[in-house]
Amino acid sequence: MSTLEQLKGDSKRRQFALTQQYAADNGLEIVDRFDDWGISAFRGRNAALGALKTFKSRVDAGEIARGSYLIVESMDRLSRDKVINALSLLTDIVSKGIVLVTLDDKQVYSEQTIGQESYRLIVALASMSRAHEESRRKSSLLGEAWGEKRRLARQDGVVATRKVPGWLVVSKEGLIEEIPHRVEVVREIFTLSRDGWGAFSICRRLNERREPVWSTRKHAVWRDSYIKKMLKSRTVLGEYQPHRIIHDESGERLRQPDGECIAGYYPAVVSKDLFQEANAAVEKRRVVGRGRKGVSYANLFSGLLRCSCGAGYRYLDKGKPPKGGKYLQCSVAYQKGACGVKAIRYELVELLLLSYIESLDVERVLGGERRNQRLADQRTLLANLVGERDELGAKINRVVGAISSGEGLATKTLMTELDRVEKEYERRIVGIGNAELEIAELTQIDPKKRRQVIDELLAKLQAKDAPEVDVTRRALVGELQRMLQKVVVKPNVRIAWEIADSDLGWKKTYSVKTMAGLEKLCRDLSFELVLVYQNGDTAAIDALDGPYFKSKGRLNFKNWNYLNDPD
């Protein structure tokens, strides 16, 4: 059967009942059956990919003996391909000793019958020609019908299909309407992505709260592949991309974009700003901070930290204090490589950086001359990519038109050229998306708003019994990645007795009572952080003598209890 929908009718029962009757009338025993459900014989896909291919393979392997019968309802069940291909299929089967029976016209094709009564080939050719022409006509009519639907959708906004995204539904009146609760879930997913949540974490959040899945399949759950697809899909902005189907030489269906997207076809459920911010965050997580995070999002700097040797840092959780603790260590040093820097306590790095950010001039690091130059470069790049995309799109349409004029069957040369041009087109689409995200980030980020958001997040983290600490920490990660390219950790060795000699009031300065306490402080705080911002500026923070982190007394650990036990 060409489509799975035909299984709902009587075709399956009828075909098998006729086969059983023929076998009984002719003293044959049915030993196997081959079902091609939903695979069209029009372009030979059943012979190339379906159960008919399995049958032929078993004949070639000798598993089906010469003299066996292959019974089909009619010749068009065997093939509706072009006559020359269908005839070749028939003669190939018969030449291997198989007897082919078509029940509708009671024809028997075998080496013996064709040899004695050659007119049977003429009957077969007539059936093949009729089957192919009927399928070709239906295919042409169907293509024209879909072409008209696409034209009306583009010209008058008429709904082309009832198949719409999961947060929408087509009403009885033929209008596309929102499903309110699902729309809220879509906006939540984009907001979480903007605030630092990866697709895996978003899925876990939705599944843990038993958010209903938009599927009728049993035991369906939210999956990160669907979240990723949703975040990239411009349907949330109301855009619809029509497609059309062509076929390659093997009959394989190829789905091709048909013209530009139609704006306003769907209800827009996400603002353009949120869409761009969410995708910009996805892109940053792809470059830095990739991978699944713990429930509490323990490491705020995943992917951002670099050792002075150039390697990344590993986050190490050695269990509960006092024997354990959370540390950061150069990945090369961890593997006993050429770098010999010591591990440092994670809490100290976090407190140092967050203390610095409290008074950071956000407007300076997000703006400046370098930002303006980057913006100009990205706009020039975008204009060039759009021009190249349009040229490639026109070329794709010309190649597809050449393919369509030949009944949709492409020559090898045309298919090779189409594949090459499509890959170039996709590369331009990706480039355009990246350039748009970069421009949106450079033009839409309001430094005052970012300063306010950072202050609110820091206040939440320091608050006693702060709710949803993981949500706050993820959001803070997003803000850090908006501002920072990387953070380089450099060793900065300090010797306790030298500090004591140069500062007679060292006990008060560093809030320690003994030389042993000062030595421990030097061991813990003998490093500095070099912050490299998105605009290219840098800032160095000394862990021991810097103005933000000079003494243990200023760390205010009591206000950061979550650091000791983030679970």
The pLDDT tens digits of the residues spanning 247-276 come to 555 555 566 677 777 888 888 999 988 888
For residue 521, the model assigns a pLDDT of 81
Domain-located, residue 362: no
Distance in angstroms (rounded) separating the CA atoms of residues 283 and 279? 6
pLDDT at 187: 95
11 and 121 within one domain: yes
How many CB atoms sit inside 10 A of residue 518's CB? 22
Instruction: Assess contact for 358 and 479: CB atoms under 8 A.
Output: no
CB atoms within 10 A of CB 189: 24
Range of the domain at 192: 163-245+263-286
- The answer as to whether 50 is a domain residue is yes
Residue whose token pair is 């939705």:
206
| Residue of 366, 347, 510 whose CA lies nearest to 451 | 366
Question: Which pair of structure tokens corresponds to residue 106?
Answer: 């009671």
The set of long-range contacts for 227-231, using a CB threshold of 8 Å and a minimum separation of 24, is 227/189, 227/199, 227/202, 227/203, 228/199, 230/186, 230/189, 231/189, 231/190, 231/193, 231/199, 231/278, 231/279, 231/282
Q: Is 462 helix (H, G, I), strand (E, B) or coil?
A: helix
* Residue 558 pLDDT greater than 60, yes or no: no
* pLDDT score at 230: 93
Question: Within this chain, do residues 168 and 275 fall inside the same structural domain, yes or no?
Answer: yes
Q: Is 379 exposed, middle or buried (CB count within 10 Å of its CB: 0-12, 13-18, 19+)?
A: middle
Instruction: Flag whether 513 is in a domain.
Output: yes
- Cα dist. 63→58, 66, 110 in Å? 5, 10, 19
* pLDDT over 90, % of the chain: 8
CA dist., res. 466 & res. 451, Å (int): 20
User: Which pLDDT does position 519 carry in this prediction?
Assistant: 86
Q: How far apart are CA 190 and CA 204, in angstroms?
A: 15
Residues 185-207: pLDDT tens digits? 999 999 998 887 888 889 888 99
Residues 282 and 299 in one domain: no
User: What long-range pairs does 309-317 form, CB within 8 A, spacing at least 24?
Assistant: 309/338, 309/339, 309/341, 311/339, 313/489, 315/346, 316/343
Which of the 8 DSSP states describes residue 512? -
Distance between CA atoms of residues 196 and 473, nearest Å: 9
- Is the same domain home to 122 and 43? yes
Closest C-alpha among 48, 123, 50, 132 to residue 86: 132
**Overall pTM surpassing 0.75 (yes/no):** no
User: Domain for residue 150, yes or no?
Assistant: no
Q: What is the CATH number of the domain that holds 205?
A: 3.90.1750.20
> What single-letter amino acid sits at 393?
G
Residue 356: inside a domain: no
Q: Is 402 within the bounds of a domain? A: no
20 plus 127 within the same structural domain? yes
Query: Do 189 and 272 belong to one domain?
Result: yes
> Residues for the chain: how many in total?
567
pLDDT (tens digit per residue) in 456-510: 887 777 776 666 677 777 778 777 877 788 889 888 877 888 888 888 888 888 8
Say whether both 209 and 306 belong to one domain: no
**Interhelix angle 272-287/180-194, nearest 10 degrees:** 40
Q: What is the mean pLDDT of residues 345-359?
A: 80
Most distant CA atoms of the chain, gap in Å: 119
229 lies in the same domain as 317: no
CATH number for the domain including 87? 3.40.50.1390
Do 278 and 310 lie in one domain? The reply is no
Host H or E run for residue 352: helix 346-357
Total number of domains constituting the chain = 3
Mean pLDDT of the chain: 78
